[in-house]
C-alpha cells in the first residue's frame, strides 16, 4: 500500500487502499488506460473477455458491471487522498495503467508518481483530474462503444462516492476544519445540479432517493432508498435486481398493493 494511505486503510479497510499502486505504467502486463481509450480493438478485446466471464452476449450490462467494479477499485484511495489528505494522486487517463486479471476485471490502478499535496485547494481543483481527466473520457468511450447512456455509468460512480464520502465524514467528525472540507466535497460532487463554472454535474441526481413502500404491517408506508437508474445487473445470467433497484418487480408489486389499499 502507498505509505500515505496506510493510516486511513487499516484492518478490514486495507484491501480498499491497496488498489492504487505507484509504479511504472509502461511495465509489461499492464494496460495503459490511454491506449484502451484510443483503440477500439483493445476495448473490444477487454469487453469480450469480460462478457465471456459474465456469460452474457449483451455488452450493455457487461460494460455497466465492469464500470461498477472499476469505480470500486479506483475511488476509495483517490477520494481519501483528495478529501481527507488533501493530496492529489496523478490519475489522469494519460498517466495511468490498469492491472487486469484473466477476466478483464481491474485489480489495481497504477500511477507513475505519488503526486503532490494540495492544501487549501477547492473541490473543483482537487477533483478535476479524477472527474475530467479520468472518468469523463472513460465513461464517454464506454457509452459510445456499447450504446449505454452516460448517466447510467456516472450513476455507478456516485454509488461508490456517497458511501466513501460518508466514511470520510465519520473519520473527520472530530476535526471541524477537515469535516467542513469533506462536507464541501460532498456538496460539490453530489448535491449541485451545475458546477460553479456552469457545467452540468453528471453526478447530480444519480444518488439514492426516497420512495414510498406500501403494504407495511399496520398500514404504514415506510420510505425506501432507491437508485436513480437501474445498472442492468439483473440482465446478467444468474443475477437479479438489487434491493434498491427502481425497476425491481418487488417494488412494483409493493406500489401496486399500496395503490389498491388506498383505493
- The predicted pLDDT at position 217 comes to 39
pLDDT confidence of residue 218: 41
- Mind listing the pLDDT tens digit for each residue in 133-143? 999 999 999 99
Task: Please count the residues of the chain.
Answer: 263
Q: What is the pLDDT of residue 237?
A: 77
pLDDT tens digits, one per residue of 152-171? 999 989 989 999 999 999 98
C-alpha torsion angle, residues 166, 157, 123, 31 (rounded to 10): 120
| Cα atoms found within 13 Å of the Cα of residue 38, Cβ hemisphere only | 7
pLDDT at 262: 52
Query: For position 214, what pLDDT does the model report?
Result: 47
Residues in the chain with pLDDT < 70?
206-227, 234, 239-241, 243-263
- Measured CA to CA, the distance from residue 234 to residue 247 in angstroms comes to 10
Amino acid at each position: 500500500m502507498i505509505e500515505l494511505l496506510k493510516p486511513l486503510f487499516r484492518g478490514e479497510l486495507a484491501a480498499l487502499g491497496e488498489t492504487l499502486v505507484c509504479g511504472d505504467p509502461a511495465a509489461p502486463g499492464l494496460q495503459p488506460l490511454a491506449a484502451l481509450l484510443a483503440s477500439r480493438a483493445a476495448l473490444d478485446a477487454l469487453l469480450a473477455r469480460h462478457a465471456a466471464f459474465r456469460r452474457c452476449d449483451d455488452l450493455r450490462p457487461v460494460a455497466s458491471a465492469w464500470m461498477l467494479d472499476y469505480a470500486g477499485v479506483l475511488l476509495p484511495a483517490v477520494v481519501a487522498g483528495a478529501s481527507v489528505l488533501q493530496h492529489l494522486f496523478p490519475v489522469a487517463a494519460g498517466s495511468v495503467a490498469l492491472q487486469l486479471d484473466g477476466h478483464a476485471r481491474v485489480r489495481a490502478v497504477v500511477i507513475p508518481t505519488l503526486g503532490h499535496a494540495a492544501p487549501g485547494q477547492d473541490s473543483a481543483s482537487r477533483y478535476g483530474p479524477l472527474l475530467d481527466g479520468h472518468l469523463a473520457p472513460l465513461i464517454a468511450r464506454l457509452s459510445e462503444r456499447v450504446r449505454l447512456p452516460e448517466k447510467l455509468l456516472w450513476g455507478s460512480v456516485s454509488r461508490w462516492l456517497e458511501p466513501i464520502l460518508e466514511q470520510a465524514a465519520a473519520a473527520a467528525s472530530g476535526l471541524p476544519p477537515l469535516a467542513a472540507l469533506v462536507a464541501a466535497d460532498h456538496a460539490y460532487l453530489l448535491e449541485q445540479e451545475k458546477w460553479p463554472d456552469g457545467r452540468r454535474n453528471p453526478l447530480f441526481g444519480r444518488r439514492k432517493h426516497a420512495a414510498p413502500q406500501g403494504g407495511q404491517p399496520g398500514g404504514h408506508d415506510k420510505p425506501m432508498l432507491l437508485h436513480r437508474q437501474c445498472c442492468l445487473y439483473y440482465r446478467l445470467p444468474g443475477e437479479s435486481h438489487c434491493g434498491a433497484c427502481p425497476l425491481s418487480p418487488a417494488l412494483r408489486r409493493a406500489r401496486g398493493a399500496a395503490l389498491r389499499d388506498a383505493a
